[in-house]
A and B are shown apart, each in its own frame.
Chain A
Amino acid sequence: MLPYLLILPAIVALAAVYAYPLVKTVIMSFQDMGRRELWTGESPPWVGFDQFTNILGDAEFWHVTLRTVVFMAVCVVATMAIGLLVSLLMMRLSTWVRLTLTTALIAAWSMPLLVASSIFRWLADSDYGLVNTIIAKFAGDDWLGHNWFLDPLQGFAVIAALVIWGAIPFVVITLYAALTQVPGELTEAAQLDGASAFGVFRFVTWPVIKPVFIMVTTLSVIWDFNVFGQIWLLRGNKPEPDYETLGLYSFSKAFTSTSFSQGTAIALVTVLMLSGVAVYYLRQLMKTGEVE
């Protein structure tokens, strides 16, 4: 009886802030809740699958989905590739260089999202941004006043830089922790047997760090799929339609177009898209014995 009493407050709290909203999301997705229903408290009319047929039949939704997936893929691949290389590098550094690098990583990691976004917005500012100043030095004064956000492709490059910069510290520190678990004798034995550097990595290091690598990659997929704040803040709290990923698309349908049901339906579709990744992550956790 005692354990159930101990978890009761947590269950109630989780039910109130996670379970109930999730159920409500499902309910709202089958209704049509707009501004009027929100303020009068009238119960919104039921519309069946209309919200979903509207969304799935809307070309914009698929554009946004494609944009979200591509953006996520670019960020995850870049983050994991850079993260792995830097963590391997960390193993080969002198102690003082490693400490310097760790300090830099932690400094970057500890920046609040809003502060980090402000810095990147300032760096990429069209008039007084450092990035334009530096490029202009090499490529000519045309670059002064260059607006990075006019072309969404360039804008997303700035956003991706922010996301990747923000994610690298966690990836590097985690992978480095895993790398230190690789037994030194194994590496040496492989080297003595004439294995190349790549061979050592492929057959000795990689098997040891693989579970951690997969876990971090899965987390990155989920985080980068849900990127919201960085885009929202870099676009001055009102992202143009060209900058909308699924989270922002759902948000703007709900709060800008005040069609709350459209917003929840999009959020629900997003949850369903991510559930596969989440289940995979959970299975990995169970395999490594984190949830036993």
Chain B
Amino acid sequence: MSASTPTHPQDLRPDRKKTKLGYNVLGLVIAVVMAFPVYWLIISALRPNHEIRSYDQTLWPSSITFDNFARAVKQPNFATAIQSSLIISITAVVGGMIIATLAALAVGRFRFTGRRALLMVLILVQMLPPTAMLIPIYAQLNAMGGLNEYWGVIVVYLVSTLPFATVMIRGFVVNIPVELEESAMVDGCTRMGAFRRIIFPLLAPGLAASSIFALVNAWNEYLFAYILMNDDSKYTLNVWLMTFTTERGTDYGALMAASTMIALPVVVFFMFIQKKMATGLTSGAVKG
């Protein structure tokens, strides 16, 4: 009963063809609705300012300009915001990956008391509302002099990558046959050597996916960054984005241009890992 057989009676029924066309049209309409805000972001970033400040918004720009980008780049603290975002995200992700890989090896390779409990804790902590942690962390960092310091935010981001990274990397660890590792050790490798020569290369794609994921999360976070860092020279890009809204209103052209620049690396990374994201998310591994 394969659909590819041309003589299949159902394929010849015209109403069936019509339904298929109907489905396809509906599918395209949904695609347009879902993509529209993204289109609007890019088009608003590129259109002249007089069209943005107009009561008659048009779906298509009359001309393309980079003025909005020029204004966005001139917004104070752009360069320092890039720097802060990079320092914070990269440090947090590298640290988080090391700790998560160690933990993932433990839960993926060994049976030990408390293993299940650890997995449950990893899943449960992701369900805590952010304010439940924000207030005590703010008070604690304040007492330790960690407000307005990179390390405070880095520690928070690092730990918030641990739950999903551990569960995700564990998924890759359990797929590497133990025999590979054992035969390497029989051949004279130490446990460390077996890890370095056998496990690590096989784990690399999983590590890459998890770190991109963690990087995107850290790059996108704004609440902790906003509350824990008040010094405007240490704003991250997302917090910097908020400076486009002032008492006098919002410069939407520049805001859309700046947003485009911030979203662009995320979109590119996302394309690489989207398949793994869906699986990672359903295993309860990722915070929304």
Interface residues in chain A, defined as those with a beta carbon under 8 Å from any beta carbon in chain B: 2-4, 6-7, 9-11, 13-14, 16-18, 20-22, 24-25, 28, 33, 38-39, 41, 86, 89-90, 92-94, 97-98, 100-101, 103-116, 118-123, 125, 127-130, 133-134, 144, 165, 167-170, 173-174, 177, 188, 212, 215-216, 219, 222-223, 225-226, 228-229, 232, 236-237, 246-247, 250-251, 254-255, 260, 263-264, 266-268, 270-271, 274, 277-278, 281-282, 285, 290-292
Contact yes or no, B99 A13, CB < 8 A: yes
Majority SS at the chain B contact face: helix
Give the residue name and chain of the A residue nearest to B121 (CB).
Answer: A14
Contacts of A237 in B (CB 8 A): 242, 245
Report A-chain residues with C-beta under 8 Å of the C-beta of B107.
Answer: 3, 7
B135 near A17 with CB under 8 A, answer no
Contact with A along B214-226 (1 / 0, CB 8 A): 0010011011000
Q: Is the CB of B136 within 8 A of A101?
A: no
Which residue from A17, A109, A174, A263 sits with its C-beta under 8 Å from B160?
A17
Q: How many residues of B contact A (CB 8 A)?
A: 95
Given contacts A13-B99, A17-B160, A285-B284, are A89 and B30 in contact (CB under 8 A)? yes
A-binding segment of B50-58, B60-68, B69-77, B175-183: B50-58
Q: CA–CA, A180 to B222, complex, Å?
A: 36
Interface of A is mostly: helix
State whether A255 and B35 are in contact (beta carbons under 8 Å apart), knowing that A118-B259, A128-B53, A260-B139 are contacts in the complex: no
Q: Is B9 part of the contact surface with A, judged by Cβ < 8 Å? A: no
Residues of B within 8 A of A123 (CB): 37, 40
Min distance, Cβ B188 to any Cβ of chain A, angstroms: 20
Q: Determine the distance from Cα of A264 to Cα of B134 in the docked complex, in whole angstroms.
A: 9
Is B227's CB within 8 Å of the partner chain A? yes
Measured CA separation A110–B125 after assembly (Å):
24
In the assembled complex, the CB of B136 is this many whole angstroms from the nearest CB of chain A, namely 4
A267→B245 CA distance, assembly (Å): 29
Contact A122 B40 (CB under 8 A): yes
27 contacts between A and B (CB under 8 A): A2-B106, A10-B100, A10-B103, A10-B162, A13-B159, A22-B133, A24-B139, A39-B142, A92-B20, A93-B24, A98-B27, A105-B31, A105-B34, A111-B37, A112-B266, A120-B37, A123-B37, A130-B40, A144-B55, A177-B278, A215-B284, A228-B223, A229-B222, A229-B223, A255-B227, A271-B132, A291-B120
